[in-house]
Structure 1
Amino acid sequence: MRSRWRRGWDGFTLYLPVVLMGLMALASWWLVRNAPSALPDAPARAPVHEPDYFMKDFSVRSFDAAGRMTRQLQGEMARHYPDTDTLEIDGVQLNAQAPDGRRTRATALHGLSNGDGSEVQLSGDARVTREAVRLPDGTLSPELRFEGEFLHAWTSEERVVSDRPVVLWRGADRFTADRLRYDNLDQVLQLDGRVRGVLQPGPAR
């Protein structure tokens, strides 16, 4: 009797690993079958045009490789939009200096600028003024002033464009037009639409 029980126990222990492996496989299958399905990936969020930071009574300066200031952008309030990397500015003022030393000043009630102020859209009582400068040959290049409700200025490229009525002052001479395109580097001034001008006598021309 004892030897029979021992033989039975020995047989049971011989097959015990196989039985345990079968039970583990059955348990794994049950867990896989009853596990909750994975959540679908959340759809990518579309960029939102919302400001990520604000600046009040601010001033931002840019410098060239020699350490000379090339631009100063300031305003009463600015909102930065990361989706377009632009600054929306209230009471904007921009001062820039060209390689020849001539200074340009731009002001408006509102402005939309890129990060370093090299491109700015001015709206509401917009004005861009390039100061007079003495040229290498000794002649005086008179002050240029652009005025309108909208002006688009590129300070590095020395360009001013507007698709709305503008007033151009060159010294004491005054011109009006429906559209304007000015490129100082290419020495091109284009006035379109209803163009009128009043020329004053004297060296200002």
Structure 2
Amino acid sequence: MGLLALGTYWLARTTPTFAPSAREAPPTHDPDYFLRGFSVKSFDASGRLKSEIRGIEARHFADTDTLEIDEPRIRSFSQEGAVVVASAKRGISNADGSQVQLIGNAVVTREAPPERRATEAKVEIRGDFLHAFMDQERVISDKPVTLIRGSDVFHGNSLDYDNQKRVLQLVGAVRGTLQPKPPASAPSP
């Protein structure tokens, strides 16, 4: 019994130990892949096109799961068929494209759904920085913006526009120009 204990002791002392497994290094903010001249489309569960992102070049960062895009052009489609188009010199998108920060000559345009185009004007928002929440149909900015709705034009120092709630908030030195509606044409005899 003692010989067995001594042999076990000797075996435990002479058996090489393996180094502890190296811990995986945390991801750095270096691009892990590039896209050039690309188009990425996302679809909902029923196969309906939800959004499309195009750009000259994009870089994906694994640490933040974001995509930095040069000259992005984004189209998003609501359930009702309204189309939102966004563009800028540079964009930063989250993984699913539901949030996009547009930087430099940013423009977001929303067309009314087909059945309301005769009564609802197109809305266009311009600024140097716009944060677009595509699924929520919301645009915010803490920089000066210009809002164009039909022939009406508004300027403000910051913006919070929620299309689903139909609420627009311009803050700061707000200026606006409202144009009269054109007269209704008389019916033909």
TM-score in same-fold range (> 0.5): yes
Aligned match of 2:74: 94
Instruction: Give me the whole-angstrom Cα distance separating, in 1, the residues matched to 2:14 and 2:98.
Output: 61
Structure 1: which amino acid aligns with 2:42?
A: S
Percent same amino acid among aligned pairs?
48
Q: Answer yes or no: is 1:142 the counterpart of 2:116.
A: no
Structure 1: which amino acid aligns with 2:79?
A: P
1:2-151 matches, cutoff 5 A: 22=3, 29=9, 32-33=12-13, 39-133=19-113, 140-151=119-130
Aligned match of 2:162: 183
With structure 1 as the length reference, what TM-score do the two structures score?
0.78
User: Residue by residue, what CA displacement relative to the aligned partner does 1:167-200 show, whole Å, maximum 9, x if unpaired?
Assistant: 1111111111111001111111011111111111
Worse overlay, 117-126 or 30-39: 30-39
- Offset of residue 84 of structure 1: 1.9
Aligned match of 1:4: none
Aligned match of 2:134: 155
Q: How many residues align?
A: 182
SS of match in other structure, 1:52: strand
User: Residue by residue, what CA displacement relative to the aligned partner does 1:82-112 show, whole Å, maximum 9, x if unpaired?
Assistant: 2222111101000111122221110011111
Structure 1: which amino acid aligns with 2:120?
A: S
- Offset of residue 63 of structure 1: 2.2
Instruction: Give me the whole-angstrom Cα distance separating, in 2, the residues matched to 1:45 and 1:68.
Output: 39
- Offset of residue 46 of structure 1: 2.3
Aligned match of 2:150: 171
With structure 2 as the length reference, what TM-score do the two structures score?
0.84
